[in-house]
Chains A and B, each alone.
Chain A
Amino acid sequence: MNTRKPPALAVAGTAALVAGSLSPWATFAGYPGKMSLGGFPGGARLFCLLLATGAVLFVLDLGGRRRAALAVGIGAAAVVAVNFAGLMDHGGGIGSVAWGAWLSLAGAGLLTAAAWRLPAGTPAPKEWPVLPVAVEVAAVAAAVLALLGAVVWGLRINESSRFVSFLVFVAFVSVAVHHLGVFEALGVLFARRQRIALVLGGAAAVAFPFTQQGNAYWIRVFASIGVFAVAAIGLNVVVGLAGLLDLGYVAFFGVGAYVGALLSNAALTTVHFHVPFLFVVLLGGCVAAVFGLVIGTPTLRLRGDYLAIVTLGFGEIFRITANNWDGLTRGPNGISGIPDLAAAGFDFGESHALFGVTLPGFANYYFVELVLIAGAILVFTRLNDSRIGRAWVAIREDEVAAAASGIDTIRLKLMAFAIGAFLAGCAGTVNAHVTTQVSPDSYTFLESILLVAAVVLGGMGTVPGALLGSTMLFVLPEKLRSFQDKRLLLFGAALILVMRFRPEGLVPSKRRRRELRERAPEGVPGLPGASGAPPGSPVAG
């Protein structure tokens, strides 16, 4: 590792960026981050300041540093640009932008130019030495902690301009870190220390509600993400592993939800029959699985997009039936007022204090969902690594060849349908209690599409992909709420952009990546738990 004197351009750029970030950006009061005041990096200025630390790349001759440095420079420029737009919108015209912002923009420009002039250098290393266990475990822990920290940090940001700045910041830091080969290294690390990584990841997930200081909003959102994630993992079995495009998958989720609602103590239920909730969850899953078989059986002869439209048709049939079978489902009004779960005197709806932190009722459901997710992950990974999983891949790649080599394609496709439906059904029963109502409106074609989008966005055939995809699809619209009526527009644009730059998804499966890139990275086993590794994590430095 050689070090060199940093080029003058980079020094000037860093100085300008740092100075600009400590100076006023707004000529008027009231913009998030007290931007009219100087002397401290309030609001989005903090992101610029943090990006300025990337100037270290000009000192250290790391592999892949040119592209990383470019990402830092452009990222800083993008953060300033976002706030230029925000300032002009909030204040009024270019006059509301103070000199600090201009200085930062100039600094970002100089940094980008300096990065451009860096020699291409060596690419990021592919091989990483095996370090002592303690160091590796510490690195995994730091990565998990940084991810949790980034999530909590992001959720705390309420102002739209600052949140968009945060997203830009995270995106460009991720790109920079990616070019330095850190994600690749983390992937290897997580695979090597799989057990500990899973335990730590689980611990971080359990810790999340404790970071919210009794505030129910994000816990509620994450409770919604939880059920969605279980369904997304189920859909991943169908789409990601077996390659069967299902555009009516939300119907299975709906079947589970109606089972959960009808067997609850809701005053409006049309079936007066109560069993313990654990049994309801399994029953919901089984009923959904039966539906999966019913749909799967006649459609097995169909391929590809014909199957897609038939599943779409079944999804619509489910919704319309739920909308019109008043005697069972109460039609479009649905079944509302579904009571909270209660077990052994423990009311899931009440808030409970634990370790000095008040956990709102939704946290209880969140914990239940974590158990479900763990189960779903177990099912998914076990299947993926088994004969069945390999047979699915064979069917996905070439059904004729798979059948010719003795795979019972019909039985295996049915199995994929049933398992996927089972997971969705289980998730549905929990969702009935989380949302306290079920109605046909919640199971439209658009919801099915969103589930498919979650799987594809995250990366087909991987668990972290499904988790990350469903988190994004819930958190982004909630976070974009402050844009009020422009949020769907931005959401549509985000879908297009992510697919444009990461068509294989954010966390692609190694098998697929190998197919796509036509190079087989040796000795890089899967990336469980490495979903969108932490920006600016200590491991990255």
Chain B
Amino acid sequence: MRQFLQQLVNGTVLGATYGLIALGYTMVYGIIQLINFAHGEVFMVGAFGGLTVYRYWLPDSLASNVWVALPAVLIGAIAVAVGVAVVMERLAYRPLRNAPRLAPLITAIGVSIFLQEAVRLFYPGGKRQQAFPQMISSGTFDVGGVTVPWVSVFVVVVAVALMVGLQVFVKTTKTGKAMRATSQDPESAKLIGIDVDRVIVVTFVLGAALAAVAGVMQGMRFAQIDFRIGFLAGLKAFTAAVLGGIGNIKGAVLGGFLLGIVEALATQYVPHGSSWKDVWAFVVLIGVLVVRPGGLLGERVATRA
């Protein structure tokens, strides 16, 4: 039982990161039906943005003060990720809005490769893993024999707060309503006076900001980042988004947590589990989709081709 709870904790923390990145996938998909494969790279670039602030801009005296360092790193990460996402949308995706459906997908792959390589080649020391500041305590505490690191508590709390915040934003604000309208029918949205271009940019910005926070949290958890962290994280987050029902915000969160927990439990309870865990993650995904073709919470299947 203790092992079970321990793995549940491990899975929840892992799932929180998946969920945060999955939100970006699901929002962009909901609005323009694009699988933005470069979103994982936005997450990676965000982490590097945070690292840059910490390493080059924060004076040493402030770097040790978590109340200064953490917000500064987060702002740096968000700024870089949002900047990259906006440029990407403007230069790579917007010209292709009326192109065949697969063209933006290939562009996204191109952007993904390009961003990875740009960081690898041009970030100082980018070819190797970079140490990332842990900022808050690397210690742990015990609850009934289950070891919980403080940083994990932080990660889960921040992730859940952001997810709730996003949900509130989309449900209540005017921009949020415009986003929902656009996702349901861009043509009609345009007719009732919604600036669709702006809505799309806002979607990219929100997704990028969340991914940047996820990037910083991953850096803090693992004490290191490298130019390749985006690929696998992006793949898993995309899986999580589909699992929950792509286009559905709550679904992305649920999918993220579910995926993380399945991986952790599979590692514990299946022989050679740590090698096979991804298989179980995908088996769960396929099983869910066979029973519910729209994902766990996805009620609406896009009928547009």
Contacts and interface: CB of A to CB of B under 8 A. Distances in A.
Interface of A: 239, 243, 245, 298-299, 301-306, 308-310, 312-314, 316-317, 320-321, 323-324, 396-398, 400, 445, 449, 452-453, 456-457, 460, 485-486, 488-489, 491-496, 499-500, 503-504, 512, 516
Given A303-B301, A486-B121, A493-B114, A460 B242 contact: no
Contacts of A243: 305
B35 A489 contact: no
A397 B286 CA distance: 25
A488 B113 contact: yes
- 6 nearest CB pairs, A to B: A495-B110, A503-B99, A492-B113, A492-B114, A313-B282, A489-B117
A321 B283 CA distance: 12
A282 to B, nearest CB: 29
Contacts of A396: 305
B107 A460 contact: no
Interface of B is mostly: helix
Contacts of B109: 449, 453, 495
Given A323-B275, A489-B117, A492-B113, A317 B102 contact: no
Contacts of A460: 100, 102
Contact of B283 (A308, A317, A499, A516): A317
A496 B285 contact: no
A317 to B, nearest CB: 5
A503 B29 contact: no
Contacts of A316: 278-279, 282
**What is the interface of chain A mostly: helix, strand, loop, or mixed?**
helix
Contacts of A445: 235
Contact of A309 (B103, B106, B285): B285
Contacts of B186: none
A329 to B, nearest CB: 13
Given A400-B303, A493-B110, A495-B113, A500 B95 contact: yes
Interface string B106-147: 110111111111101100000000000000000000000000
B154 to A, nearest CB: 31
Interface of B: 29, 33, 35, 37, 92, 95-96, 99-100, 102-107, 109-118, 120-121, 235, 238-239, 242, 246, 272, 275-276, 278-279, 282-283, 285-286, 289-290, 293-295, 301-303, 305
Contacts of B104: 499
25 contacts: A301-B293, A304-B305, A306-B242, A306-B293, A309-B239, A309-B289, A313-B239, A313-B283, A316-B282, A317-B282, A449-B37, A456-B100, A456-B106, A457-B106, A460-B100, A485-B120, A485-B121, A488-B116, A492-B117, A493-B114, A495-B107, A495-B110, A496-B107, A499-B110, A504-B100
Contacts of A309: 238-239, 242, 285, 289
A462 B278 CA distance: 35
Given A301-B293, A313-B286, 20 more contacts: A305-B242, A306-B295, A306-B301, A308-B35, A310-B285, A313-B285, A452-B102, A453-B109, A485-B121, A489-B117, A489-B121, A492-B110, A492-B116, A492-B117, A499-B96, A499-B107, A500-B92, A500-B107, A503-B100, A504-B99
A396 B95 CA distance: 24
B25 to A, nearest CB: 10
B103 A456 contact: yes
Nearest to B303: A400
Nearest to A503: B99
Most buried by A among B114, B116, B294: B114
A304 B247 CA distance: 13
A298 B115 CA distance: 36
Given A310-B285, A453-B109, A324 B276 contact: yes
A397 B302 CA distance: 14
A316 B232 CA distance: 12
Nearest to A315: B282
Nearest to A240: B102
A452 B105 contact: yes
Contacts of B96: 499-500, 503
B266 to A, nearest CB: 12
Contact of B103 (A308, A324, A499): A499
A305 B246 contact: yes
A221 B211 CA distance: 39
A460 B102 CA distance: 9
Contacts of A503: 96, 99-100, 103
Contacts of B106: 452-453, 456-457, 495, 499
Given A299-B289, A317-B283, A504-B99, A456 B105 contact: yes
A481 to B, nearest CB: 15
A394 B100 CA distance: 16
A412 B276 CA distance: 33
Contacts of B246: 305-306
Contacts of A494: 110
Nearest to A245: B102
Given A309-B239, A456-B103, A488 B295 contact: no
Given A299-B289, A492-B117, A494-B110, A512 B100 contact: yes
A472 B33 CA distance: 28
Nearest to B117: A489
B286 A310 contact: yes
B114 to A, nearest CB: 3
A243 B107 CA distance: 19
Contacts of B29: 305
A98 B121 CA distance: 31
A310 B238 CA distance: 11
A503 B95 CA distance: 10
Contacts of A452: 102, 105-106
Name which of A302, A485, A504 has the most chain B CB atoms within 10 A of its CB: A302
Contacts of B283: 313, 317
Contact of B289 (A302, A456, A488, A516): A302
A492 B37 CA distance: 13
A31 B272 CA distance: 56
A523 to B, nearest CB: 24
Contacts of A305: 29, 33, 35, 242, 246
Given A323-B275, A324-B276, A500-B92, A492 B112 contact: yes
Contacts of B278: 316, 320
Nearest to A516: B100
A489 B117 CA distance: 5
A298 B291 CA distance: 10
B297 to A, nearest CB: 14
